Structure 1
Amino acid sequence: MIRNDLHEIKSLGPRFTWCNNKNGGARILEKLDRCLINTNALDCIHIALVKHLSCVASDHCPILLEVFKNLEHAKSTIRYEEVWASYYGESALVKSVWKRKCKGDPATILNLKFKRTLKALFYWSKEKYKGLNSLRDKLKDEILEIQLEESEGELSVERLQILRFKINELNVTLARINT
């Protein structure tokens, strides 16, 4: 590392990045995954931080390198999500928004109706998914908390079962969000 001018970046999160997923005395925790940056990169970045994320789908914690980001905001576009059609209430929302009166030539009216409808669907779906997203965030925090607890010392069998249950619940919630 020294010969190649590589430096490990300070990290936050669980101290260990790998686990063999065994119980009791057979359980092994190690820090295997690291982020290394050379001096030239450090000079360009100035601010760099590595986050050890929760171990959910693997025996390794994903690591996330965060560097100073510019605060440029691009104008976002709203696109129709096919999953909206599978929810009860979506078609009633579209009908009510579409019936609103508009003025102008036919092309302008059509564009305005599309814009209003997509915007209404966007905010409607945002409310619908807010519950799932908050559950996802809560589960991620709870998993991270248990994994941090584990990095400080051995977990009891009950806490290990709770960790596995929370990981499973997170995977189910993520599947629902992705649908």
Structure 2
Amino acid sequence: MEYVRDQCEFKNGLLVPSDGASGGLALFWRKEVTVHIQNYTSSHIDAFVDGGVDGWWHLTCFYGNPKTSRRCESWSLLKSLSTYSQLPWLVIGDFNKLVGLSEKEGGASRSASQMARFQEVIDVCGLKDLGFIGPQFTWLYQKFDGTQIRERLDRALATSNWLSKFPTAKLYHLSSSASDHCPLALHFVRKQKKRRYHKPFKFESMWLKNDKCEEVVRRAWEEGLLRGSAFPLNSCLESCRVCLDDWNKNDFRHVGRQIVRLQKALERSELQPTSPLIIVEI
């Protein structure tokens, strides 16, 4: 997790160790953000966040107990945290519970009383669901017979004063091929459309695994030197850029574009009801 923190350039954080191969929580934040950790367990991290001109607010990262017999412990914890402060409050995470059958596809039916209990706790805590943008379900289980179970176990809940403080906040369900849960991305402001700029050159690490790479660079460098430029280094680098780009298009067929295409195809598949055809596509 420290590697993930460093890669995301988060300088501060709290890591709650896992119990063997299960559990484990982490909350990381950038150095310019002020976060005061209040308390934590293996099921939650509770903190106050300085929102700058928006003032302080209350954040809880939550993990509902996966065992039905111990789910009441999670709801007792949530209700206890709701009395901790009067600050605008956001709770986000994996609650391991549904509020209705519309949040489930495939598998055995969930207990109506347990779903009602979860909704009751949400109401008692004064929380409202932020809704979401993206695939309907956040968790997928692939059974041995090829069928799937999909459920919305992950969500963000907030009090009315938090929603008033951040009226443009949007929760996105992202696609993932590396986990049975999809990542949640909470944007506090509407994303602005990016301006189209000329794409900068990017050296792909996968090129180094190809035996042709060294030869492409050697020939490009020689071509750069033969141009007789007053700035030979710039000339060689530009020659390498052009030759590597052409080689990438011819030999790898725009791998970056293929990744984007496959990612979009995955997102489209996740939006569709479960069927043998969709399972094959995923």
TM-score using structure 1 length: 0.59
After superposition, what is the alpha-carbon deviation per residue over 1:98-137, rounded to whole angstroms, capped at 9, x for unaligned? 321123xxxxx35434553454367447746662122112
In structure 2, the residue matched to 1:112 is 234
1:139 is matched with which residue: 262, 265, 268? 262
More helix by share: 1
Residue identity (%) = 21
- Give, in angstroms, the shift of residue 57 of structure 1: 1.7
In structure 1, the residue matched to 2:281 is 162
Distance 1:46 1:160 in 2: 37
Distance 1:157 1:40 in 2: 42
The letter of the residue matching 2:222 is K
Where does the alignment leave 5 or more consecutive residues of structure 1 unmatched? 104-108, 164-179
Cα separation, partners in 2 of 1:117 and 1:29, compared to 1, 3 Å = same
Cα separation, partners in 2 of 1:126 and 1:63, compared to 1, 3 Å = farther
Answer whether contact 1:16 1:30 (CA < 8 A) is retained.
yes
The letter of the residue matching 2:257 is S
- Give, in angstroms, the shift of residue 65 of structure 1: 2.5
Answer whether contact 2:176 2:182 (CA < 8 A) is retained.
yes
The letter of the residue matching 2:271 is L
Q: Map 1:18-167 onto structure 2 (within 5 A).
A: 18-22=139-143, 27-36=148-157, 39=161, 43=165, 47-68=168-189, 84=207, 86=210, 87=213, 89-103=216-230, 109-113=231-235, 115-117=237-239, 119-120=241-242, 123-124=245-246, 127=249, 131-150=254-273, 155-163=274-282
Cα separation, partners in 2 of 1:28 and 1:79, compared to 1, 3 Å = closer
Answer whether contact 2:225 2:232 (CA < 8 A) is retained.
no
Answer whether contact 1:51 1:64 (CA < 8 A) is retained.
yes
- Give, in angstroms, the shift of residue 18 of structure 1: 0.7
Aligned residues: 150
Answer whether contact 1:97 1:120 (CA < 8 A) is retained.
no
TM-score using structure 2 length: 0.41
More strand by share: 2
If asked which structure has higher relative contact order (CA below 8 Å, sep 6+), I would say 1
Distance 1:94 1:37 in 2: 58
Corresponding residue SS for 1:139: helix
Distance 2:260 2:182 in 1: 17
Where does the alignment leave 5 or more consecutive residues of structure 2 unmatched? 1-77, 83-87, 91-127
Answer whether contact 1:50 1:65 (CA < 8 A) is retained.
yes
Cα separation, partners in 2 of 1:126 and 1:25, compared to 1, 3 Å = closer
Answer whether contact 1:16 1:31 (CA < 8 A) is retained.
yes
In structure 2, the residue matched to 1:177 is none
- Give, in angstroms, the shift of residue 42 of structure 1: 6.7
Answer whether contact 2:129 2:157 (CA < 8 A) is retained.
yes
Corresponding residue SS for 2:185: strand
What is the root-mean-square deviation of aligned Cα atoms in Å?
4.0
The letter of the residue matching 2:268 is E
Answer whether contact 1:98 1:113 (CA < 8 A) is retained.
yes
Distance 1:25 1:130 in 2: 32
Answer whether contact 1:9 1:35 (CA < 8 A) is retained.
yes
